[in-house]
């Protein structure tokens, strides 16, 4: 007979063991169920680190991955040392770049009277010049109310901190009419003296065999007598070998006649090495004569004076009349001065001409319209730089009917900048005009011919017009672009639009603009930040090209796109 299974048949110890096994199995089953029911745990996705693009090895200047400009070195014409770099032009302009033109309080006010107003305006200028200079560096502004002021001759500002201001540059604003029937300047803003003041005992020879373009530091035989903060002249002293290399003796060039002095400030000294506030815009080579550094004691400059918000009109007999107003405003031996919001009409030579040791000046929102004179040499130079001018900025300027509209003369050392300017109905080229101007930036210029080249026997025998000249994102709408490079130097055309291109200079991205839009503004941002750019630009300018707005404005009323 089969036995029926019964717990009674299992010893008590075995029963306890069986119950324990069943309990453990049940717990594990519940734990597995809980794990299956629980939602999956969220994991933070891992974003792979992007691989930065390789460095731009072909562009002369480009925007790097950090948003700042980066530079590739280049070799000068006929040389093999790839050690030069496009210089920083951003120190150009009032206050060394990035400083807004100040609003000077009015201390005198005049209204027009019939007849010649020259003497009464000059008397008020003299009175303000006699006032003490305030803590802010200004004496005060003279406000000329709306209306027409006949001026028989020249008005002169010869002291610091004096501003001559109108109420607008349009037809209903302040109009100064040049009535003198002879070539003359209507308004002069000028200091005193002439030339540089170099202390001969402080001169120290440069010992580096090659100081490249774009560097701020180099070595001297010693730095005795030099201290941080000193204003110095870096003088390039070419020899006959340099004249022969360029083949310029045939045009009357001599070695001593082409000594070029560059104003700088010493920012650091380490042993025999000095560092300057701004880079060199001209290479200095021992084999071409070398150079020296000496303390600069230039005197007689005036500061913080300006002309604002008015229209200058010259009388004239016919389109080729040459006996009337010649220059609207001339700056001479000025530092940190300005001309803004001025339209000049019918003058024979220039709206604004900067000459004779002028540094850190700004000309903006100005226009040169319909010059009256022969269309020939020495005429219709709408916005002009001459005679040892450095660190000057022309921006947002317009010309109509000129010849050399944005131009430099002989041996202008630089750096100097023309930014966001337009020339229409122009009769000749934009660029350095004659005799070795260095370190000029033409940035977003709209016009006709653009040239930096060997002018050979043109005019009085100009020869090489310039070196280290940059055309950046310019547009020649009706003619050719010539960028030639002298031996031992380099000129550039980057992002330029034109009908034809020629020359031995450096060309990049012909007929396609490049980034950044403005080299000057990008360099200024890198050096001083966005605030500096905002201080000197208008919103439309920061957004892009303003050539269309300038053409629409054409010097009539305030430029406010």
Which residues are within 8 A (CB) of 445 and not within 5 positions of it... i.e. 6 or more apart?
406, 418, 420, 421, 422, 423, 430, 471, 474, 475
Strand, coil or helix: 149: strand
User: Is the whole model's pTM more than 0.75, yes or no?
Assistant: yes
Question: Tens digits of per-residue pLDDT, 226-267?
Answer: 999 999 999 999 999 999 999 999 999 999 999 999 999 999
- Dihedral sign, CA of 116, 118, 123, 127? positive
User: Which region, left, alpha or beta, applies to residue 517 given φ > 0 means left and ψ of -120 to 50 means alpha?
Assistant: alpha
Selected residue with higher pLDDT from 33 and 319? 319
Q: Which one-letter DSSP state was computed for residue 358?
A: -
- DSSP H or E segment with residue 327: strand 325-332
Question: Tens digits of per-residue pLDDT, 482-492?
Answer: 999 999 999 99
Question: Tens digits of per-residue pLDDT, 505-517?
Answer: 999 999 999 999 9
What's residue 55's pLDDT? 59
Are 327 and 228 contacting, i.e. CB atoms less than 8 angstroms apart? no
Are 163 and 104 contacting, i.e. CB atoms less than 8 angstroms apart? yes
Strands (E), 448-554: 450-452, 466-472, 475-476, 480-483, 492-494, 500-502, 506-508
Question: Tens digits of per-residue pLDDT, 113-141?
Answer: 999 999 999 999 999 999 999 999 999 99
Tokens 């001297």 belong to residue: 220
Question: Tens digits of per-residue pLDDT, 8-17?
Answer: 333 443 333 3
Reported residue count of the chain is 561
Tokens 């291109």 belong to residue: 501
Question: Tens digits of per-residue pLDDT, 305-324?
Answer: 999 999 999 999 999 999 99
Are 307 and 327 contacting, i.e. CB atoms less than 8 angstroms apart? no
What's residue 57's pLDDT? 63
Are 214 and 276 contacting, i.e. CB atoms less than 8 angstroms apart? no
Give percent of the chain with pLDDT exceeding 90: 85
Are 347 and 325 contacting, i.e. CB atoms less than 8 angstroms apart? yes
Question: Tens digits of per-residue pLDDT, 50-109?
Answer: 444 455 667 999 999 999 999 999 999 999 999 999 999 999 999 999 999 999 999 999
DSSP string, 297-316: -----EES-EEEEEEEEE--
Question: Tens digits of per-residue pLDDT, 205-216?
Answer: 999 999 999 999
- Dihedral sign, CA of 372, 376, 382, 383? negative
């Amino acid at each position: 007979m089969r036995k029926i299974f019964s717990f009674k048949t299992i010893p008590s110890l075995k029963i306890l063991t069986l119950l324990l096994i069943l309990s453990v199995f049940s717990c594990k089953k519940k734990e597995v169920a809980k794990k299956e029911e629980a939602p999956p745990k969220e994991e933070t996705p891992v974003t792979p680190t992007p691989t930065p693009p390789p460095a731009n090895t072909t562009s002369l200047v480009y925007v790097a991955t950090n948003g700042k400009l980066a530079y590739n070195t280049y070799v000068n014409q006929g040389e093999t040392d790839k050690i030069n770099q496009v210089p920083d032009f951003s120190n150009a302009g009032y206050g060394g770049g990035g400083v807004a033109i100040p609003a000077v309080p009015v201390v005198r006010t005049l209204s027009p009277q019939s007849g010649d107003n020259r003497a009464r305006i000059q008397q008020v200028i003299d009175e303000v010049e006699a006032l003490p200079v305030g803590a802010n560096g200004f004496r005060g502004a003279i406000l000329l109310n709306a209306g027409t002021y006949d001026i028989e001759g020249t008005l002169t500002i010869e002291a610091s901190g004096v501003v001559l201001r109108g109420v607008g540059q349009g037809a209903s604003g302040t109009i100064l009419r040049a009535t003198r029937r002879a070539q003359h300047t209507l308004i002069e803003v000028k200091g005193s003296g002439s030339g540089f003041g170099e202390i001969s005992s402080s001169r120290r020879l440069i010992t580096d065999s090659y100081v490249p373009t774009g560097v701020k530091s180099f070595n001297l035989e010693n730095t005795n007598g030099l201290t941080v903060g000193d204003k110095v002249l870096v003088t390039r002293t070419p020899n006959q070998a340099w004249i022969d290399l360029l083949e310029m003796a045939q045009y009357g060039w001599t070695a001593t006649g082409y000594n070029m002095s560059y104003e700088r400030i010493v920012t650091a000294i380490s042993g025999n090495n000095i560092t300057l506030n701004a880079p060199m815009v001209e290479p200095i080579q021992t084999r071409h004569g070398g150079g020296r550094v000496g303390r600069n004691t230039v005197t007689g400059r005036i500061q913080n004076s300006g002309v604002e918000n008015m229209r200058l009109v010259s009388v004239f007999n016919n389109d080729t009349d040459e006996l009337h107003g010649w220059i609207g405003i001339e700056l001479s031996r000025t530092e940190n001065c300005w001309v803004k919001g001025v339209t000049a009409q019918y003058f024979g030579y220039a709206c604004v001409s900067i000459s004779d040791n002028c540094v850190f000046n700004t000309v903006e929102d100005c226009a040169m319209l319909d010059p009256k004179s022969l269309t020939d040499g020495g005429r219709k130079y709408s916005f002009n730089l001459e005679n040892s001018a450095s660190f000057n900025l022309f921006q947002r300027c317009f010309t109509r009917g000129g010849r050399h509209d944005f131009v430099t003369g002989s041996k202008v050392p630089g750096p100097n900048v023309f930014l966001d300017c337009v020339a229409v109905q122009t009769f000749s080229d934009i660029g350095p005009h004659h005799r070795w101007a260095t370190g000029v930036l033409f940035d977003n210029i709209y016009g006709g011919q653009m040239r930096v080249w060997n002018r050979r026997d043109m005019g009085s025998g100009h020869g090489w017009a310039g070196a280290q000249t940059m055309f950046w994102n310019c547009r020649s709408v009706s003619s050719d672009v010539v960028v030639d490079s002298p031996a031992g130097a380099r000129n550039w055309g980057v992002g330029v639009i034109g009908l034809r291109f020629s020359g031995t200079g450096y060309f990049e991205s012909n007929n396609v603009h490049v980034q950044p839009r403005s080299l000057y503004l990008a360099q200024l941002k890198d050096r001083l930040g966005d605030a500096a750019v905002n201080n000197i630009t208008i919103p439309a300018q920061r957004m892009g090209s303003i050539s269309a707005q300038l053409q629409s404005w054409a010097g009539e009323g305030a430029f406010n796109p």
